[in-house]
Structure 1
Amino acid sequence: MENRPQWIACLDYLRSGDTLMIRALDRIAGTERMAIETIRELGHRGIKLHSLTEPFLDIDATTPMGEAIIGIMAVLAQLRISTIRENTKRGLNHARAQGRIGGRPRVMTDERIQTARNLRAENKSYPQIARILGVSVSTIQRSI
């Protein structure tokens, strides 16, 4: 939250009895867990939350029923996160089994690494080699 000074200022400005109007839940937090914690914190401070696109959020977090609904939301959010994580792992394992490796393609092929080594043996500097191969100096240093 350190990189969201306006959000911090908003939270500091709110007082008990105020209503915070938001467009959607994703505007107040990056993850469901953070959103639920924020809803709980606002409820404990006596601040109501009103979402223009999510009317189910208009709950009183200070009541037992409101706390139960927030708890259910937390469980569902954790289930969603766990399901996404599980599906991602399964997809990566499937891709690896088919010989695919994710990530950015390597810039320095074996042939280019050998070229860089030959240029270095000719007493070329790292910046010169980098310019010749069209890569950064750090890429050359890592490769050699």
Structure 2
Amino acid sequence: MLLRPPPAPPNVRHGYTRVSTRGQSADSQIARLEAAGCQRVFVDVGYSSRLEDRPDWNRAREATNRPGDELVIPALDRVAGTETIAINIIQSFAASGVRLLSLDEPWMDIDTSTAMGEAMLKILATLAELRVSMIRENTRRGVEFARSQGRVGGRPTVMSAERIEAARKMREEDLSYAQIGRVLGVGTSSVRRALTN
């Protein structure tokens, strides 16, 4: 009697997303990936898309490592911040037989073994770089406009005029920034910025 090997488990579909800062929420991106049928969603928080070595990105790659597995992302800028990174990632997935699917760029599921696929890869990488450049440019314009309106941007300072004056007096008495911060109930860096600006 011939023994048949057990059937291979079905291919997996996982999701991956990323937010740049710890203050951002990935909830809406996670919901989109779960709605797309992802069995598990990996999320990196506080990492730039220009970093290729990210903890959950590495885990997502390890979890989708068989031909036919699928890794779904909300958009290419979640994984690639430069043209070089985009090309490397897409070529790596194509070589391993794992499908990299983007919810915002459905045309990204391309066959890089053909001339047309290679051309699409180059177009895709260019668009990814353009997206990042546009985000950077829009941010710069927003900051410049805010400054022209008298707004500096960022979080409001916890150092009021009264606290700054009290901090100055304490520094004159040779208290450290950390000691002043404890007295005023604020962070050391807030005291240092207020007294050195």
Structure 2 length normalisation: TM-score? Answer: 0.55
What is the aligned partner in structure 2 of residue 103 from structure 1?
154
Aligned mates of 1:49, 1:106 — CA distance in 2: 46
Query: How high is the sequence identity, in percent, across the aligned residues?
Result: 40
Q: Is the 8 A contact 2:86 2:125 kept in 1?
A: no
Gap change, CA 1:22 and 1:70, over 3 Å in 2: same
Greater percentage in strand: 2
1:3 and 2:55 correspond: yes
What is the aligned partner in structure 2 of residue 62 from structure 1?
113
Say what the alpha-carbon RMSD is for the aligned residues: 3.3
- Within 5 Å, which residues of 2 pair with 1:63-102? 63-102=114-153
| SS of alignment partner, residue 22 of structure 1 | strand
5+ unaligned residues in a row in structure 1: which ranges? none
What is the aligned partner in structure 2 of residue 23 from structure 1?
72
What is the aligned partner in structure 1 of residue 12 from structure 2?
none
1:79-105 alpha-carbon deviations (Å, 9 max, x no partner): 222222222211211111111101122
Aligned mates of 1:46, 1:131 — CA distance in 2: 55
Aligned residues: 139
Query: Which structure has the larger Rg over C-alpha atoms?
Result: 1
Aligned mates of 2:188, 2:114 — CA distance in 1: 61
Gap change, CA 1:82 and 1:50, over 3 Å in 2: closer
What is the aligned partner in structure 1 of residue 168 from structure 2?
117
Q: Is the 8 A contact 1:21 1:51 kept in 2?
A: yes
5+ unaligned residues in a row in structure 2: which ranges? 1-52
Gap change, CA 1:25 and 1:70, over 3 Å in 2: farther
Structure 1 length normalisation: TM-score? Answer: 0.70
Aligned mates of 1:102, 1:39 — CA distance in 2: 37
Gap change, CA 1:32 and 1:111, over 3 Å in 2: closer
| SS of alignment partner, residue 69 of structure 2 | strand
Greater percentage in helix: 1
Gap change, CA 1:56 and 1:128, over 3 Å in 2: closer
- Within 5 Å, which residues of 2 pair with 1:130-141? 130-140=181-191
Gap change, CA 1:69 and 1:100, over 3 Å in 2: same
Q: Is the 8 A contact 2:90 2:100 kept in 1?
A: no
Which amino acid in 2 is paired with 1:23?
Answer: V
Aligned mates of 1:82, 1:31 — CA distance in 2: 12
1:57-90 alpha-carbon deviations (Å, 9 max, x no partner): 3321111111111111111112222222222211
What is the aligned partner in structure 2 of residue 49 from structure 1?
99
Aligned mates of 1:124, 1:105 — CA distance in 2: 25
What is the aligned partner in structure 2 of residue 39 from structure 1?
90
